[in-house]
Amino acid sequence: MASSNAATDQPVVEGDKYRSHMYGEGEKNTKWRLGAPPNYDAVNKLFEEGRTQEWPKGSLEERVQNLVKTWEMEIVHKVDPADYKTINTTNFTISINGGKPVPLEEVGRIGSYNLFLQTPLPPNLRVYDPSLETSQSASQAFLTTFSRGFAVEILQVYSGPPVIAYKFRHWSFMEGPFKGHAPTGELVEFHGIGIFHMDELVRVKRVEFFYDGNELLASLIKGPTTDGSEASTKASGGCPFFHR
């Protein structure tokens, strides 16, 4: 059974503690990227062990946190935008660090990691080059590095619907190699600001993120290179006016 998730009107369906729209009658015909709903047990455990805030049940912060997790799940794991419940698929756009708004079909084509790690740096200075990666290769690279997933928590909510502004933290442990750099086993994290613009049906119609990609990528090249060569001195590029 589903229970109401008031401020954002997102039902919480049993099967995942933090994400809606994965199971139940409304998802029986959903087309999943891997053929079935994703299993978040490992990343949920990482989240519960590493979070710095535990928001009261039913609070605005908890509802926004669950919305963010559900939105991420849908945009990454549902193949057909017609199956999205949290997103206005007609008008949806996303922008990174004040850049050009990217429409939904482009997000699906390039993949979320490649979108979030866009950089103005010339190719020879890039630690990670989104232009050389497909959606699939990017997902595999980060899944290898973060075998338990990449947890997210909401640190603060500045405003509620229709414009939800919040501060977030993403984190995991580098337990696998990344682009020729050995795993360090260390905590890897970054912080940022997210803004969700909601429509009259409380669906996300526009997203803005502000963060510094250096905070993430610099942590992934701290380990020795796997081929014994000198460590990279490349930079990742990032937000010129906000450091996560």
Q: What percentage of the chain exceeds 90 in pLDDT?
A: 78
Q: How far does CA 9 lie from the centroid of its chain?
A: 21
The whole-model pTM stands at 0.86
187-198 and 204-211: which strand pairing?
antiparallel
* pLDDT given for residue 213 in this prediction: 87
* pLDDT given for residue 219 in this prediction: 94
Q: Residue 29 is which amino acid?
A: N
Bridge partners of residue 158, in order along the sequence: none
Q: What structural domains does the chain harbor?
A: 25-220 (3.10.450.50)
Label residue 185 by pLDDT band (50, 70, 90).
Answer: very high
Label residue 9 by pLDDT band (50, 70, 90).
Answer: very low
CA distance 207 to 195: 6
Q: What is the pLDDT of residues 126-179, one digit of tens each?
A: 889 999 999 999 999 999 999 999 999 999 999 999 999 999 999 999 999 999
Kindly report which listed range (4-8, 99-103, 104-108, 195-199) carries the lowest average pLDDT score.
4-8
Tell which phi-psi region holds residue 84, choosing left (phi > 0), alpha (psi between -120 and 50) or beta: beta
Mean pLDDT across 16-25: 95
Listed residue (35, 41, 1) closest to 18, CA to CA: 41
- Phi, psi (degrees; rounded to nearest 5) at 190: -150, 160
Asked if pLDDT for residue 111 goes beyond 70, the answer is yes
Listed residue (171, 174, 173, 244) closest to 213, CA to CA: 244
CB 208 within 8 A of CB 242: no
